[in-house]
Amino acid sequence: MSSKDDPRILEEQVKSLSDELMQCQADKEFVWSLWKRLQVANPDLTQAVSLVVEREKHKAELKDRKVLEILQSKDYKIQELEQKVTGQQQEINSLVQRTTADGEIALMKEELTALREQLLHKNQELKIEMVSTTVRNNRESSVPSASLHMLRECRSELRARETEVNT
For residues 158 and 127, is the Cβ–Cβ distance under 8 A?
Answer: yes
C-alpha distances in angstroms, 29 versus 18, 22, 78, 98? 17, 11, 40, 69
Of the ranges 50-59, 76-85, 98-107, which is most confident? 76-85
For residues 165 and 120, is the Cβ–Cβ distance under 8 A?
Answer: yes
Give the residue with greater pLDDT, 136 vs 141. Answer: 136
- Residue ranges of alpha helices (H) inside the chain are 5-38, 45-141, 144-166
pTM above threshold 0.75: no
**Whether the predicted pLDDT of 167 surpasses 70:** no
The percent of residues above 70 in pLDDT, for the chain, comes to 90
**Whether the predicted pLDDT of 95 surpasses 70:** yes
**Whether the predicted pLDDT of 134 surpasses 80:** no
